[in-house]
Amino acid sequence: MGSATGVTTGVPGGAPGVVSMRGFTGNAITYLFDGTRIQGAAMTARPMDSWNFERIEVLRGPASVLYGEGALVGAINFVTRRPSRDNAVVEGLVSYGSFDMLRTAGGVGGPLGTASAYRMDFARTSTGGFIDRTRGEMWNFGALRNDAGGPTEAFQRIADTRCKLR
């Protein structure tokens, strides 16, 4: 998200993450989760791994009022990976980096009969920290079920995210 033009992100010590657009923060930016408005930056600033998202949409400027009141300078939509009734999917990721950072992630999904589908994603990040004797660990789990119900499809969130820092 920080690579989008005019968008600045950061994590001040002891506080949730902050997003700034064109110098504005907080309620001047509308936050959406799968197109549904959520209240306040504190909800979106909780630790979440980008693996669980298909994409993050950033709409800057006054056109963001398409999502309703409060979108003074922009809107951010976090779009999760969707279940597919077409075929089974298995995806994975393993990476290792500085300060003993290890990131693993995986996702599975597929059809449940002819009218339903499922998607489960898991991500884990651990780090030795850049300060001696500090460790960090973050776990994310997301699950969706998709049921065909006429022209609209209902997505039911089965599980959410959990984080643990030591």
pLDDT tens, N- to C-terminus, the chain (166 residues): 667 777 877 766 656 667 888 778 777 888 888 887 777 655 555 567 788 888 888 887 766 566 566 677 888 888 888 888 888 999 999 999 988 889 999 999 988 888 888 888 889 988 887 777 777 888 887 777 776 643 334 445 554 444 444 4
Query: What DSSP string runs through 31-67?
Result: EEETTEEESSHHHHTS---GGGEEEEEEEESGGGGGG
d(CA 86, CA 51): 21
What are the boundaries of each domain within the chain?
7-80, 89-165
- What pLDDT is recorded for position 105? 94
Residue pair 146/117 in contact (Cβ under 8 Å)? The answer is: yes
Residue pair 136/127 in contact (Cβ under 8 Å)? The answer is: yes
Spell out the alpha helix ranges (H) of the chain.
41-44
Which residues fall within 8 angstroms of residue 165, CB to CB, at 6 or more apart? 136, 137, 138
d(CA 113, CA 132): 52
Instruction: Give 83's DSSP letter.
Output: P
Architecture of domain 7-80: Beta Complex (2.170)
Residue pair 38/29 in contact (Cβ under 8 Å)? The answer is: no
Pick from 92, 154, 162, 155: nearest CA to 119: 155
Pick from 139, 137, 131: nearest CA to 101: 137
C-alpha to C-alpha distances, 87 to 28, 68, 83, 84, nearest whole angstrom:
41, 36, 10, 7
d(CA 56, CA 32): 10
